[in-house]
Amino acid sequence: MDNRALIDSFLEFKDFKHIDKVTLMAILEDVFRNTLKKKFGSDDNFDIIINPDKGDMEIWRNRVVVNNGEVEDENTEIALDEARKIESDFEVGEEVSQVYHLIDLGRRSILALRQNLITKIHEHDSTNLYKQFKDLINEVYTAEVHHIRPKAVILIDDENNEIVLPKDKQIPSDYFKKGEPVRGIIEAVELKGSKPQIIMSRTSEAFMEKLFEQEIPEIAEGIINIKRIVRIPGEKAKVAVDSYNDNIDAVGACVGVKGSRIHGIVRELGNENIDVIHFTENPSLLISRALAPAEITEVKIDEENKKATVYLEISEVSKAIGRNGQNIKLASKLTGYEIDVIRNQANDDDDDVEMIEFVDEIDQWVIDEFAKIGLDTAKSILKHTVEELVRRTDLEEETVIDVINILKEEFDEE
């Protein structure tokens, strides 16, 4: 078997690797030189000539002619009679160049050479893959579902690269089927041994920001700036935007006519409810906007402790707090202030009773469920229908009816 045939056998997998011929042949030369060093102790007297276009290479060994019987190192010296079999006019002291056939390395060395070559190409692929995806961190990427595991979904891109979408990086409502495309953001590239692990996320604020950039031309062009994003993935998000052009309505441009621009983002994120608000450096105004759709009567700021006390009508409390406290939680994260909600007491509510007063008759966890939607007094609950209360809390209809009967009895006695 000649050199070309052996090299072809080494590279039988080359078409399945994303590697150009020049790089491949350079790796091949490096592996051959290491093999020669291991066999002869040095590769200094070898010339390796590469032809990337043909995918071929030649190895020439250079040896000095010495008198017959005086050869001390067969790798670097050749006897005069042996040299003259190559060229009849060689003399002692001259240098002889002769093609070295890879088959002469021996079967064991050839097998080792092949394995080293495969290892080097894998290392090269891993290094390139790491660099490629490092440059894609915080960029939106699409890949297909390959298989689904309990703790992660494994995706494959067009170049057969494996991408991991961990369970905690998935939107709770996400449901994947094999072969379907999935969009997310490349969040990290981690080295696991010699192979990089590419991590995708669909829950990060950065993913939402990139989706806004893709869907809203004014953001991509830098006319509108996203100042802050906070999310409860798949549930609710708040986005504060600002415009460098006073003639542009930043919120209107992001939402679009009848929500046309933001609809694609909402759909991609599992119908996540997105509030877009105008950003301002005025903390009181920003807090009022962040608590929308609730209408705020007054905001008092404790700048030193980063706390804000918000006053509003009792009918607005549940709007400010939101389902399961989502609205006030996101407003606090967006503004950077711990927010306390205080309801304004109307005169006709002077006889209202705090729900905590009913702890002997109503379980604390039930009281807490009402408090999550801003209903912490008897009359605030009685203003709502059973259907509304069941819809807005996690309580059963029977439980709600029991609570209402207890509260009505309190006022009937009065």
In a domain, residue 15? The reply is yes
- Closest Cα to residue 221, out of 243, 237, 252, 199? 243
Mean pLDDT of the chain: 86
Instruction: Tell me how far the alpha carbon of residue 393 is from its chain's centroid.
Output: 33
Given the structure tokens 């009022």, which residue do they identify? 288
Res 142 pLDDT > 60: yes
What angle is formed at CA 188 by the lines to CA 186 and CA 192, rounded to 5 degrees? 125
21 and 102 part of one domain: yes
User: Can you tell me the distance from the alpha carbon of 346 to that of 366, in angstroms, rounded to the nearest whole number?
Assistant: 25
The helix (H) or strand (E) run that includes residue 380 is helix 378-382
In a domain, residue 286? The reply is yes
Q: Note whether 311 and 297 are within 8 A (CB).
A: yes
pLDDT in tens, 245-282: 888 899 999 998 888 899 999 999 999 999 999 999 99
In a domain, residue 302? The reply is yes
pLDDT of residue 272: 93
pLDDT of residue 2: 53
27 and 113 part of one domain: yes
31 and 93 part of one domain: yes
253 and 192 part of one domain: no
The string over 355-386, giving b where at least 16 C-beta atoms fall within 10 Å of a residue's C-beta and e elsewhere, is beebeeebeeebbebbbbbbbbbbbbbbebee
177 and 62 part of one domain: no
26 and 122 part of one domain: yes
- Residue 94 contacts by C-beta under 8 Å, 6 or more apart in sequence? 64, 65, 83
Average pLDDT over residues 150-167: 92
Given the structure tokens 């679009």, which residue do they identify? 256
Q: Note whether 265 and 300 are within 8 A (CB).
A: no
26 and 113 part of one domain: yes
Given the structure tokens 């905590």, which residue do they identify? 356
Q: What's 196's domain CATH number?
A: 2.40.50.140
pLDDT in tens, 293-308: 888 988 999 999 899 9
User: Can you tell me the distance from the alpha carbon of 106 to that of 160, in angstroms, rounded to the nearest whole number?
Assistant: 36
pLDDT in tens, 316-335: 888 888 888 899 999 999 99
Least confident of 9-23, 108-122, 337-351, 386-400: 9-23
Average pLDDT over residues 27-38: 84
In a domain, residue 367? The reply is yes
**Environment class of residue 31 by beta-carbon count within 10 Å: exposed (0-12), middle (13-18) or buried (19+)?**
buried
52 and 38 part of one domain: yes
This model's pTM is above 0.75: no
Residue-wise DSSP of 60-97 = EEEEEEE-TT--S-TTTEEEHHHHHHH-TT--TT-EEE
Domain boundary at 298, 315, 344, which?
A: 344
pLDDT of residue 235: 93
Least confident of 8-12, 218-222, 279-283, 327-331: 8-12
What are the DSSP E strand ranges found in 222-337?
Answer: 224-232, 236-243, 273-278, 298-302, 307-313
Given the structure tokens 């007063």, which residue do they identify? 357
The string over 34-55, giving b where at least 16 C-beta atoms fall within 10 Å of a residue's C-beta and e elsewhere, is ebbeebbeebebbebebeeeeb
174 and 239 part of one domain: no
Res 1 pLDDT > 50: no
- Alpha carbons within 13 angstroms on the beta-carbon side of residue 252 total 5
In a domain, residue 80? The reply is yes
pLDDT of residue 178: 93
In a domain, residue 38? The reply is yes
Identify the domain containing residue 149 by its residue range.
136-201
Length of the chain: 414
In a domain, residue 131? The reply is no
65 and 121 part of one domain: yes
Domain boundary at 80, 103, 126, which?
A: 126
Average pLDDT over residues 46-57: 75
- Residue 304 contacts by C-beta under 8 Å, 6 or more apart in sequence? none
20 and 108 part of one domain: yes
What residue type is assigned to position 374 of the chain?
Answer: G
- Residue 201 contacts by C-beta under 8 Å, 6 or more apart in sequence? 165, 169, 184, 185, 187, 207
User: Can you tell me the distance from the alpha carbon of 290 to that of 341, in angstroms, rounded to the nearest whole number?
Assistant: 13
Token duo for residue 12:
């039988």
Instruction: Tell me how far the alpha carbon of residue 325 is from its chain's centroid.
Output: 28
Q: What's 329's domain CATH number?
A: 3.30.300.20
In a domain, residue 174? The reply is yes
- Closest Cα to residue 349, out of 392, 381, 373, 322? 381
pLDDT in tens, 83-114: 898 888 899 999 999 888 877 777 787 777 77
- Residue 107 contacts by C-beta under 8 Å, 6 or more apart in sequence? none
Domain boundary at 201, 227, 253, which?
A: 201
Partner residues linked to 225 by β-bridges: 242
332 and 354 part of one domain: no
Domains in the chain, number: 5
Task: Express as a percent the part of the chain with pLDDT over 70.
Answer: 91
Residue 117 — very low, low, confident or very high, per pLDDT cuts 50/70/90?
Answer: confident
Average pLDDT over residues 164-192: 92
What residue type is assigned to position 197 of the chain?
Answer: Q
Average pLDDT over residues 282-288: 94
